[in-house]
Amino acid sequence: MPSLLQNLRWARLAFGAMWRMAVGTLICRWRKDPVAADPWLIRRIVPAIFRAARADYRRPPALPDLPEAPYILCANHQSHLDVPVMMYSLPLTIRMVAKPSLFEVPILGRYMRTAGHLIARRKAEVISASRTLLDQGYSVGFFPEGTRTPQGTLGPFKAGAFLLSVESRRPILPVAVFGTGEVLPSGSRTPRPGAVGMRVGPMIMPGSDPEKLSAAVRRALCDLLAEGPPPEMAPRALEDTR
């Protein structure tokens, strides 16, 4: 059971993150640019989220060259912390496709709308809006499972990301996130200390068959998950940095 001091600390950090999101929303509106606040928010908000969630973030030491940006990102999904890990790790301007309930959260929902993130509702609308973002140079992030699943597993994939890739001729970048489901599991409001990180696989060109593309991305994500967490997340590495 968290102590009163811990609860107060989490509340302070959560308030600070929400305050920064509100400022980010104003920056986006003032500059009439949905990505105007991105560097400011990522640099200031994401570390506060990690601290509040007691997540020991480990940045990948080296990422593959990303010459074909923008990409369609396809990642496993196990926690609300997956998006901060992806946006903090990758040198890309990313807009996520997120479930409608997130857009109803005060302050967070307003920021997500203003910043140009997409509501996962009708498939045709999401694909059309995603193509517009890709044409503007933004990468678009999907959790093809559509819901959170236990660590190390993959549920059935929905078709949206793969239809988008085939229609737009944009490559898919597979991303495997580790540790987030242990730090902040689905349905839990109490974070547990732990390391979080990610691996990035080689890009996958779209081809002409969404089903074959879906199968290829699933194989790539299974291979990344089978490799396990990156070395930076090893307990020994954590002990050496404390």
CA dist 75 and 199 (Å) reads 10
Token look-up 């970048």 returns: 173
Cβ count within 10 A of residue 15 = 12
Residue 239 pLDDT: 46
Look at residue 72 and tell me whether its pLDDT is greater than 80: yes
Distance CA(220)–CA(204), nearest Å, equals 9
pLDDT digits (tens, 9 = 90+) for 143-181: 999 888 877 679 999 999 999 999 999 999 999 999 998
Strand 118-119's sheet: what is its strand order? 55-57, 194-200, 172-178, 72-75, 139-142, 94-98, 118-119
pLDDT in tens, 183-202: 888 777 677 888 999 999 99
What is the reported pLDDT for 29? 79
What is Dmax (Cα atoms) for the chain? Answer: 56
> What value does the mean pLDDT take over residues 78-83?
87
Any idea where the domains of the chain sit in the sequence? 55-241
Average pLDDT over residues 115-142: 90
31: buried, middle or exposed (CB in 10 Å: 19+, 13-18, 0-12)? exposed
Q: Is the pLDDT of residue 47 over 60?
A: yes
Contacts of residue 235, defined as CB under 8 A and 6 or more positions apart, other chains included, come to none
Instruction: Calculate mean pLDDT across residues 114-130.
Output: 87
Average pLDDT of the residues in 211-219: 97
pLDDT at 2 over 60: no
Most confident listed range (79-93, 109-123, 227-241): 79-93
The residue with greater pLDDT, 122 or 159, is 159
Tell me how far apart the alpha carbons of residues 204 and 125 are, in angstroms, rounded to a whole number.
24
In this prediction, residue 140 carries a pLDDT of 95
Exposure of 18 in the CB half-sphere (CA atoms within 13 A): 11
Model confidence pTM above 0.75: yes
